[in-house]
Structure 1
Amino acid sequence: MARDVVVVGSINADLVVQVERHPLPGETLLGRTSVVLPGGKGANQAVAAARLGADVAMVGAVGEDVNATTALSGLRDAGVDLAHVHTVDAPTGLAVVTLSDDGENTIVVVPGANAAVGERVVDGAADLVTGARVCVVQAEIPLATVAHVARLADAGGTRLVLNVAPAAELPLETVVAADPLVVNEHEAATLLGRRFADAGDAARELAARGVRSVVVTLGAGGVVGVEDGATWSLPARTVDALDTTGAGDAFVGALAAGIADGLAVEQAAVLATRVAAASVTRLGAQPSYPWRGDDLP
């Protein structure tokens, strides 16, 4: 059966430590609390889409350790199909998140089992990818795999949402397969090889290189996009931020769900902006994502 959204990507356990402020280099601080939550950009995006009512399948890998149970818990709770999530001889991916009182975070990711998400894993799910309305991929798995997913989706006529996060250099043929390409300012600069004073200029330059549609996320600055030659922008929703972890993934997952439901990119971005805003008002990534029918900012 064709899925609304298939996500090929990372699955992590997030170790979240709350501190008053971030430590300086060489400094030791006492944290207030710590908790292990499900995370990983791929899993986060899959959960965000599924909680909005999309029929979602996940392609990825975890280890045989205790963190695998936590890492998969949010996906299971959201009803994501895990038939193509492999168990491999490597530790489950781990992200160490330090969260300060102002809601900002620092994150260190150890890929672990995510490094095993290679082309053979994707080929085993080829029918799933080519039969989906939308395929989503990010850069927390090997970049060769990202390029392979792009080729597979493009050849099969599947709409590809490519989120180049964290920042990475990818071949132009991979980038132009995206519709849309979703990046923040830093990720756009990495792809283009230079920084832009205006995010709209960066989006237009990416479109000029052949990308069918582009979305540049600006955090509290909102979103800028280019689609069919027209530039558009959306303001961020005003909320009291508690934890910004996973907000970008909430945006991408909601964007994919909206596109799979037939919305144009700008229309889907309106929904995604509201979902991302809701997510920062609660602790954690996946646990903070709204369900279909919840009130949104």
Structure 2
Amino acid sequence: MDPVESAPELVVVGAINVDLIARVARAPGRGETVADGELTRQPGGKGANQAVAAARLGARVRMIGAVGTDALGEYLRDAVSSAGVDVAGIQTADGDSGTALIVVDDDGENSIVVCPEANLRIDPDCVSVAAGSAILAQLEVADAVVESAIAQTSGFVAINAAPARPFSASILERADLFIVNEHEYELLPALRDARLVAVTLGADGARLLRRGTIIASASSRPARVRNSVGAGDAFSAALTLGLLRGDEPAVALARACEVGAAAVEDDRSQPALSALDEYAVGTHENR
């Protein structure tokens, strides 16, 4: 079988932003001005980051989202398309494209302000997903958009529940996998009884829980952190693809940690990634 034809297929539903990144030695405190920053403009948004990561890891990916009618709209659409993602599902909404203002310090830590704009104007009635499609979505777009997508498929559904906020019962009940960091997990008690939840622990790796019980854990290799903005998105894409293609949960989790470590070593929100199988499986443990 042709490798392209055998690659996992994934529909990613989520936000598409322009990332304006100010890299500084030290992030400013409240009311403080810090000079000598270096400004870059990059494509970003959790949805676009995950779509691009999944494509670079070897999946066939279709993106559902929206960009604005401003000049940045075509820039963002082209950035996603150039990574090999099908952009036919990206809508054009009147007004500005989404923008994220990001400060990254010398330790790679970041603070982010998101101005969603077009991401809040996705028309759920125009969302189209083929029956049986696997879906990866986040919470930077309206519940109605995610609900429209997951209602059209009987396939695997992964939800990166970020940012942590209340979401509908239909999303909770339909998701096969939730992906959160440890802070988000604490803020979302409804996930305690979810059928499968991956909780990322930063430099300490990740855990996989079924109905609140740890079934697998993985460590993370030491990494030289340049930018942590896209690390969780790369992890989410890698874990979803691993489980989708039938990897053992502990192996999928460990490989996703390797991908996340590679992502933080890249300056970009959409890091350069290799095929999923090129990432060695680190330490993992079944529970």
State whether TM-score is above 0.5: yes
Is 1:15–1:37's contact at 8 Å kept on the other side of the alignment?
yes
Q: C-alpha displacement at 1:178, in angstroms?
A: 1.5
Matched, 1:189 2:186: yes
Give the alignment partner of residue 75 of structure 2, picking from 67, 70, 73: 70
Q: Where do 1:162-177 residues align within 5 Å?
A: 162-177=159-174
Q: C-alpha displacement at 1:187, in angstroms?
A: 1.6
Give the alignment partner of residue 47 of structure 1, picking from 52, 55, 75: 52
Matched, 1:212 2:209: no
Q: Which stretches in structure 1 are left out of the alignment for 5+ residues?
A: 194-205
Q: Where do 1:261-272 residues align within 5 Å?
A: 261-272=245-256
- Give 1:273's aligned residue: 257
- Give 2:14's aligned residue: 9
- DSSP 3-state at the match of 1:126: coil
Q: Where do 1:16-165 residues align within 5 Å?
A: 16-122=21-127, 125-127=128-130, 130-132=131-133, 134-150=134-150, 152=151, 156-165=153-162
**Distance in 1 separating the partners of 2:277 and 2:251:** 19
Q: C-alpha displacement at 1:126, in angstroms?
A: 3.0
One-letter amino acid matched to 1:126: V
How big is each residue's C-alpha offset from its partner over 1:220-269, in whole Å with a ceiling of 9 and x where there is no partner?
Answer: 12101124865221111211111111110010111222223222433222
Paired residue total: 274
**Distance in 2 separating the partners of 1:163 and 1:61:** 18
* TM-score, with structure 2 as normaliser: 0.88
Q: Flag the 1:171–1:232 CA change in 2: closer, same or farther, 3 A.
A: same
Matched, 1:242 2:242: no
Q: C-alpha displacement at 1:189, in angstroms?
A: 2.0
- DSSP 3-state at the match of 1:258: helix
Give the alignment partner of residue 289 of structure 1, picking from 272, 281, 284: 272
- Give 2:285's aligned residue: none
* TM-score, with structure 1 as normaliser: 0.85
Q: C-alpha displacement at 1:138, in angstroms?
A: 0.2
- DSSP 3-state at the match of 1:176: helix
Is 1:90–1:112's contact at 8 Å kept on the other side of the alignment?
yes
How big is each residue's C-alpha offset from its partner over 1:51-91, in whole Å with a ceiling of 9 and x where there is no partner?
Answer: 01100000111012222233234322211000111111021
One-letter amino acid matched to 2:31: G
How big is each residue's C-alpha offset from its partner over 1:133-187, in whole Å with a ceiling of 9 and x where there is no partner?
Answer: x20110010123233434x15xx31100011101111233422322211111222
Q: Flag the 1:183–1:293 CA change in 2: closer, same or farther, 3 A.
A: closer
